[in-house]
Structure 1
Amino acid sequence: MTSNSLTFAVPKGRILDDALPLMARAGVVPDAAFHDKANRALSFATEGGDMRIIRVRAFDVATFVAHGAAQVGIVGSDVIEEFDYPDLYAPVDLDIGHCHLAVAEPKGGAADTSGASHLRVATKYPNITSRYFEKRGIQAECVKLNGAMELAPSLGLAGRIVDLVSSGQTLKDNGLFETGHIMDITARLIVNRAALKTDPRVGALVERFRAIASERKAA
């Protein structure tokens, strides 16, 4: 890798599994060390040698790209909405990583919030959550958790949670059910705005991913 190599940020977890085939079609192929489950490195070379891939938490993907430490990345639209970084641009919907963000509470809970003015909600999305309830005239006191959200109601930490939902099985297993649909989520290609303007390689990557997304949509 050279000093002016592009840095491509990807999230750990489910989205990455879906993203890797698209990345390969776009010419972004991580080296063998990336696939070694025993390897705890966070930065990897690519087969072409002109780019490096960093594998970090989803929220950190947005931060690295927004601040220019990485020029390109892939992340869920939930992360983009939560941070709303002005230097972050999401030009391509990759149509992978489908899920949604929802409000959930225990069965038998008070689903009707029409008379409430204040609720305590456990979530790792305090900004989205606050905006959602504010539009309904409710002040949400957000308790920030990075995981195990489903435990919050049963332990008295919060009456409701806001979290990602895919199949809904995790909610069901923990005695919760959806009471509000906040937003549908897919994974997006994100770029740093300044890098897009100054580095033609970033624009070329965007066009390759855009073509791939169009082909998949037409198929």
Structure 2
Amino acid sequence: MADPVILAVPKGRILEEVQPLLERAGIRPEAAFFDEGSRALQFKTDRPDIELIRVRAFDVATFVAHGAAQLGIVGSDVLMEFDYSELYAPVDLGIGHCRISVAEPKDMAAGDDPREWSHVRVATKYPHITARHFEARGVQAECVKLNGAMEIAPVLGLAGRIVDLVSSGKTLKENGLVEVEVIAQVSARLIVNRAAFKTRADTLGPLVAAFRAAAEELRDAA
């Protein structure tokens, strides 16, 4: 029997949206998969040919790009940041909607015009997306790489502005920040390792089709 297909799924807020998608695609994980208190990283499903791993969002792309997992679910923000040539992203799953935005302190924004910027110092976990965005506008960007707690960077003087994921905007508001530019809209994508898609087309092809159908069903039901 061939090794099971490994599907990498991100931890965190998206798990709740992933559950109906997996069910509609015919994959039912063991109960512990949806328990965020569980320290387990690998999980069985009701299909012996499919197993799941639950890892950090940025790591999903790495596991799939290097072939340790054959499929993954990841935000388009991660694909934009890493731009792995080994990845194929055939399906927009229509979940995990948010945006990558530039934000700054409310007091600064009151008299600020982004069109007049020539140099910015930005705290972000997206240095490549940030640099490309500002370079395209002719703005020199100094990126300070952080993995979290972006919102406190302006308060402590680490950087005047941040680039981060925004959903409701509540976290920004609670930290005295406001959005001043939207860089890109984000949604979750199904990604596939290109080499695996060629060598295991008989297995991965139907799975991709199942996820595409599941995403369309969820859109129609919304």
TM-score between the two structures when normalised by the length of structure 2: 0.93
Aligned partner of 2:51 in structure 1 is: 52
Aligned partner of 1:203 in structure 2 is: 205
For 1:35 and 1:188, locate their aligned partners in 2 and report how far apart those are by CA, in whole Å. 19
For 2:138 and 2:128, locate their aligned partners in 1 and report how far apart those are by CA, in whole Å. 15
Q: 1:211 to 1:38 in 2, by over 3 A?
A: closer
For 1:214 and 1:31, locate their aligned partners in 2 and report how far apart those are by CA, in whole Å. 25
Aligned partner of 2:121 in structure 1 is: 120
Aligned partner of 2:153 in structure 1 is: 152
For 2:6 and 2:53, locate their aligned partners in 1 and report how far apart those are by CA, in whole Å. 7
For 2:120 and 2:48, locate their aligned partners in 1 and report how far apart those are by CA, in whole Å. 51
For 2:172 and 2:38, locate their aligned partners in 1 and report how far apart those are by CA, in whole Å. 33
Q: 1:115 to 1:32 in 2, by over 3 A?
A: closer
Count of residue correspondences: 218
Aligned partner of 1:67 in structure 2 is: 66
Aligned partner of 2:220 in structure 1 is: 218
For 1:137 and 1:38, locate their aligned partners in 2 and report how far apart those are by CA, in whole Å. 45
Q: What SS does the corresponding residue of 2:80 show, helix, strand or coil? A: helix
For 2:7 and 2:155, locate their aligned partners in 1 and report how far apart those are by CA, in whole Å. 40
Q: 5+ unaligned residues in a row in structure 1: which ranges? A: none
For 1:198 and 1:3, locate their aligned partners in 2 and report how far apart those are by CA, in whole Å. 12
Deviation larger for 123-132 or 32-41: 32-41
Aligned partner of 1:86 in structure 2 is: 85
For 1:34 and 1:150, locate their aligned partners in 2 and report how far apart those are by CA, in whole Å. 30
Once the 2 structures are TM-superposed, how far is the Cα of residue 63 of structure 1 from its aligned partner? 0.5
> Where do 4+ consecutive residues of structure 1 move more than 4 Å?
none
Q: What SS does the corresponding residue of 1:164 show, helix, strand or coil? A: strand
For 1:128-207, list aligned pairs within 5 A.
128-199=129-200, 200-207=202-209
For 2:204 and 2:34, locate their aligned partners in 1 and report how far apart those are by CA, in whole Å. 25
Q: Deviations over 1:50-97 (max 9, x none)?
A: 221100000000000111110001011101111110011111111111
For 2:55 and 2:214, locate their aligned partners in 1 and report how far apart those are by CA, in whole Å. 24
Q: Is the 8 A contact 2:25 2:213 kept in 1?
A: no
Q: What SS does the corresponding residue of 1:4 show, helix, strand or coil? A: coil
Q: 1:35 to 1:176 in 2, by over 3 A?
A: closer
Q: What SS does the corresponding residue of 2:154 show, helix, strand or coil? A: helix
Once the 2 structures are TM-superposed, how far is the Cα of residue 33 of structure 1 from its aligned partner? 3.0
Q: RMSD of the TM alignment (CA)?
A: 1.5
TM-score between the two structures when normalised by the length of structure 1: 0.94
Amino acid paired to 1:58: A
Q: Deviations over 1:28-47 (max 9, x none)?
A: 22113324454311111112
Aligned partner of 1:10 in structure 2 is: 9
Aligned partner of 1:21 in structure 2 is: 20
Amino acid paired to 2:203: R
Amino acid paired to 1:208: A
Deviation larger for 127-136 or 105-114: 105-114
Q: What SS does the corresponding residue of 1:202 show, helix, strand or coil? A: helix
Q: 1:36 to 1:19 in 2, by over 3 A?
A: closer
Deviation larger for 104-113 or 21-30: 104-113
For 2:58 and 2:127, locate their aligned partners in 1 and report how far apart those are by CA, in whole Å. 13
Q: Is the 8 A contact 2:15 2:34 kept in 1?
A: no
Q: What percent identity do the matched residue pairs reach?
A: 65
Once the 2 structures are TM-superposed, how far is the Cα of residue 201 of structure 1 from its aligned partner? 1.1
